[in-house]
Structures are given as C-alpha cells and as structure tokens.
Amino acid sequence: MSKFSRRDFMKFTVAASGTLALSKFIPQTSWTKINQSASLPNVLIFVFDAMSAKNLSVYGYPRKTSPNLERFAERATVFNAHYSAGSFTTPGTASLLTGLYPWTHRAINEAGLIARDLTERNIFKLTGEDRYRVAYSQNIWPNYFFGQFQQDIDKIISPGSFGQVDYLIGEKFDKSLQTNLRAFDDFLFQSENPPASLVFGLIERILFRRTVTLTNQGGYPNGLPRLSDYPLYFRLQDVFDGVIKSIENLNPSYMAYFHFWPPHDPYNPTKQFYRTMDDGWSPVEKPDHPLGDHVPAKKLYSERRAYDEFIASTDDEFGRLLDFLESRKILDNSYVIVTADHGELFERGERGHISPLLYEAGIRIPLLISAPGQTSRQDVHTPTNSVDLLPTLVHLSGHPLPDWREGELLPVLGGQEIPGRSMYTLYALKNPAFKALFRFSVAMRKDNYKMIFYRGYYAEDHFELYDLEQDPEELNDLYPGNPAIAVQLREELLTKLEKVNAGYPS
C-alpha cells in the first residue's frame, strides 16, 4: 500500500510542480567504480545517532543496554573517555568526517554545511581512492555532507532505502541528493506548519498519514520507529538487513560509512524490550539548570527508560550484524568502528541534545575499534575526541597525515597518550555560521578537569568547572571557589576562542 501511494504522489508531483525543472541544473552524484585492491583492509564505520556512552552497559551503566556491544568489545580497543566535538548531529558528524572542530568547519547550525573551501578535507578522500567508498545515513542531515563530498564517494545509499514507509521526495531523483533533499523535503514538504507548499505539502501529509495508518506496526508497542522531522518510518530489522546486504555485496577493499537513526528520539523500542527497563532503578538526582527546559523529573525518568529500551533494541540488531561479520570472517580483514555523533541528556531539567548544556551524558560517546584479526580487548582511559578518527584512519591506510588536522592519532592505533592535551565540544546553534562566535557554549576537557563556558546566555560570561575523576556526575562546581586550576583553564580557553574568532566579522 505504501509503495502504491507514494508512486501516485510522485507522478502527481512531477506533473504539477514547476519546481522540478530545477533538477536538470543539478550535477549528478558520481557513481564511478574504482579499481579495487583486495590487499587493503576494509574500513566499516557504524554511527549510532544520539547514543550516549553514559547509558551503555559496556561502559558500566547499571542497566543491561548493550550486551552485544560488550561482546564486540572483547575483540576491540575501547575508548572510555571519548567525546564528540559537537553536541548535535550537524557539528558532531561534520567533525567526525573532517577531523576539524566546529569553529573551523563551520557546520554549526541545524542542517548546516561545511565551509566550501574545506570540503576536500574529508574522510572518504583521505582514506584513499584505492578503496570503494560507500555512504549511508538514515538521518537526513549527514546526507548534505555526502553531497559536498560526492566526488570522493563512489556510492551514496539514500536515507529511505531500508524504510517501511518512505515519503522522502528528494531521494527519488537521480541528481544531487543534497540539493533535492533541501529543495523538496526541507522546503516544499517540511514538517513545519504550514509547509512552504500549501498545495503539495498538504497532499503529501494526507497521503503519508493515510499510509502510516494502514501500515502494520506490529512488534512495536509505541509504533514504528521514525525520523522526528521527516516522513520516514522503519523497522530496525529491515534497516540492519539492508546494511548487511549492502556489505555482503561489496568486494574488498572498501570503506563504508553507515549512520543509523536509532537510538535518536522518538524512542520506540521493540516489543521484546518494551518496559523491560521499568526496574525501579533511579539515576542520581541533579538540580535544574537555568538554561534547561525544566522538564519534570518524572518525565525525564520515563523518557530515559524508553531511551534505554531503544538502545537495547538497537543493540540486539547490532548483535545480528556482528554475527554476520564474524561468520563471513569480515573482521579478519577490516577495521570496524562503532561510535556516535553525540549523546542524550536526561538531567537538570533537560531532555535531548539541542541544548547549550554540555554535560557528560550529552557529549561523551562510545568509540570501539576492532583491528583486523583482533581477538582481545584493550582499554584506553585517556580522553579522546571525534576529530581524532580521521587522522587515525588516514595513518592506518598508509597515507601521510595532513598538516591541517586538528585531531591526534588515537592511542594503541598509532598514537600515544598526551598528558595535558586540551580538547573541545562546541554548541553554537544560534550563532551565524560565518560570524565570530558570540552566542555559544563550549566544553574543554583537559586531563581530569572539564570547564564549561557560556557566552551570550547570561548577562556576562559564565563558567563551570568539574573534576571528573572525583566528581563524575558533575555535581560539585569548583569554579566559584576560584582555584588556581580555574584561572589557568579560563585563560587558556579564552585565548583559544580569541584565536578561532580571528578573521570572522563580529
């Protein structure tokens, strides 16, 4: 039923909308297949959207949310203090893909783009043209980066490829995926009220909602998982089946990036895990933050429970993927990376990740890397950052490290622990992309200390300081006592911000 309705709608749209004429001016994505060398290890990157390390049992969370990640960890290097450089999808993913901090790549707003003169600094290009390169993201926003990198990607799998109900319009055309998604799904058929196209937007919504109503949603007590702002519903099993099939059809050597929507909200676990985390366990109580949304504690607990169950549902499917990789011996000749673009907050009156609050649950993410043939676990406890992944993979691919990189080689995988290293996470959603930073928050991690700095949210600059070794829940703000370390970190951070703002108009 869903395919018929969508096809009818597409025919109607193509016939009626003059805006489709624009598509002929859009350059087509490159699909050129390269000569492959089977001697190179494959690279598989699995990104789970909004997956917080704080909610994973593989990192010590009391709820059993990730038994299959624990199984994978037994043959991987586990990074225990890994941070995203951005606190939501756009900056977090851009930093992972470019090895640059958000104040450099400038993809800092919702659905933002990487600065045009920096688009060649991407993980697909730098891991070498001697691999076949594949990119897939259920989340729409990373597809905009794929469009910017299209000369360096051999195959882009559209976001709705493995969906159950798919009314994404832009992906149906054989021109630039990036431009079509923006022109149609982010403009004509956006989820805002009203949509830009009062005629076609209304028709699309009526057909979409009718199709959803007629779709079997069995196995999901809260309804099928879906994208929060786009007309795409899916089953976890279908998505992982699609990814498994995609990998199965690849000939070595390849570099494949798979970005899953779950466990991003809305949190719709499978029946197997629904209400399994209603176990009476309670997290540490934390006071409301002035910049939070003041969500009641009871609501936060309920949302956290559903989130944990969605993680467990996702981990269960990851177990099937891991079984496939093991049975086909793909792990014997592949670097397999499991990570996230950002985390998720359920504390201090805040739920989600579009927030200036940069506490651990929102920015500390998983990173597990299995090297070819690895059979035992190694743990790294020194802090690392998502900007470190690109230079590490470049190094492991045998290519020279770019001198513009802002990340370091990961320990165990070519790098060393660097005492005293400072690393950053930036939130600047309301700041214009190409102006100096004036409304933002930034977290700086240095050894055991973490400083959070807010500018543009209070009457004057505001700082918080935590010793994460002694206070992992960030309950004791050391900054008001003005210890010597606070002075040192404040001056270092302000100097860094003055440097990154240089050359941008205020």
pLDDT at 13: 46
Is residue 9 over pLDDT 50? no
User: Exposed/middle/buried for 282, CB within 10 Å: 0-12, 13-18, 19+?
Assistant: exposed
- Which structural domains are found in the chain, ordered by start? 2-19+41-501 (3.40.720.10)
> What 3-state class would DSSP assign to 418?
coil
DSSP H helices, 77-139, are: 89-98, 102-105, 123-126
Local confidence band at 336 (pLDDT 50, 70, 90 cut-offs): very high
Is residue 385 over pLDDT 50? yes
Q: What tokens does 76 get? A: 């991987």
For 127-159, write each residue's pLDDT tens digit: 988 999 999 999 999 999 999 999 999 999 999
Residue 426 · residue 442 · CB < 8 Å: yes
DSSP H helices, 30-122, are: 67-73, 89-98, 102-105
Distance in angstroms (rounded) separating the CA atoms of residues 99 and 422: 15
Distance in angstroms (rounded) separating the CA atoms of residues 125 and 256: 12
Question: Considering only 80-89, 200-209, 401-410, 473-482, which range has the smallest mean pLDDT?
Answer: 200-209
For 418-447, write each residue's pLDDT tens digit: 999 999 999 999 999 999 999 999 999 999
Residue 108 · residue 409 · CB < 8 Å: no
State the CB neighbour count (10 A cutoff) for residue 400: 8
Is residue 219 over pLDDT 90? yes
pTM: 0.88
Report the share of the chain in percent with pLDDT over 70.
Answer: 82
For 312-331, write each residue's pLDDT tens digit: 999 999 999 999 999 999 99
Nearest C-alpha neighbor of 412 from the set 330, 335, 325: 335
Nearest C-alpha neighbor of 474 from the set 287, 281, 349: 287
CA distances for 175 relative to 21, 29, 49, angstroms: 12, 6, 27
Residue 431 has phi, psi (to 5 degrees) of -90, 130
Distance in angstroms (rounded) separating the CA atoms of residues 96 and 388: 8
Alpha carbons within 13 A on the beta-carbon side of 321: 28
DSSP H helices, 46-159, are: 67-73, 89-98, 102-105, 123-126, 140-148
pLDDT at 176: 65
For 161-178, write each residue's pLDDT tens digit: 998 876 566 566 666 666
